[in-house]
Structure 1
Amino acid sequence: MVQIGTSDLQDRLMDYIQDQTGLPIYADQLNEDNVLNFTVDPPSLDWEEMDRTQHLIYNYSIQARSVQDQPDMLNADAPTAEQLFKNMFRIRDALLQLSFKRALFSKNGSFQFETIEVQAPHDAGQDFTGARTLTLSFAVHVTERH
């Protein structure tokens, strides 16, 4: 799924997650309940070689907000917080397979995938309306030539 303003790496990750799990995922859509939202944190430079090859760590998270604690607002077709957690674990399992399969490739040659570190999904809290925010964070190590 290509989104305006996303990078090749982000696009490949979103495509991979959708292919492996069948779950729809969107960039920057946390304002909608029960939507898996792919967010980007600034990358960090792990180290750089003399030939301008950079080894970078890109930090990402997938978030979803549930309205499960508000029965009067719950859409009968929408997943519950429990189902969103199950979806997050499905995504986590798919991402963990990336390190074994090394199955993430750039479409435009902008990166070379190295490895991925994936945390366990967690409940990031509840807001004043009773909605819960679930988060899955991960760091992707890539090599880029400049």
Structure 2
Amino acid sequence: MASTPLLQRLPLNGRERLLAFAHEVTFAQDTRIFEEGGAADHFWIIRTGSVDLDVRLPGRRPAVVDVLGPGDLLGWSWLVPPYRWRMGASAFTLVRAHEFDATAVRALCQADPVLGLAVTGQVLDVVARRLLATRHRLVDLGGAGANPRPAPP
């Protein structure tokens, strides 16, 4: 858990203070975790399993734009007003994760600006890496779209 990007390089006792707002959850395979546009009031650090991030397109099935696995942060919209999900997420496999109360973590970050800056920096790093990865996938596909999960045989 300590190797996940969100928890790296936090100030002294920052990791423990953040984990105080977490509890373990399990999502069965094919469970819808959150919907694009919904209230972003939690976030997760995946312990086991994989999660598909998707976007809904009118008249089409959701398009998978990224696949997350162990150690990954699931959800960053909780940190950016208006705190609404920018994508949707589904458990591709059985998922075990640490779930965090986003409102409580935001309050902690406001009360401790040093910790808040560290958390914000870690979340921004995750967003930047995902944006770059998505950009590379789009270039590799000639701009035709992204689907990181291979088509079934």
TM-score for both structures, normalised by structure 1:
0.32
TM-score for both structures, normalised by structure 2:
0.31
- Choose between structure 1 and 2: higher strand proportion: 1
- Choose between structure 1 and 2: higher helix proportion: 2
Structure with greater Cα Rg:
1
Q: Which has the higher contact order (CA 8 A, sep 6+)?
A: 2
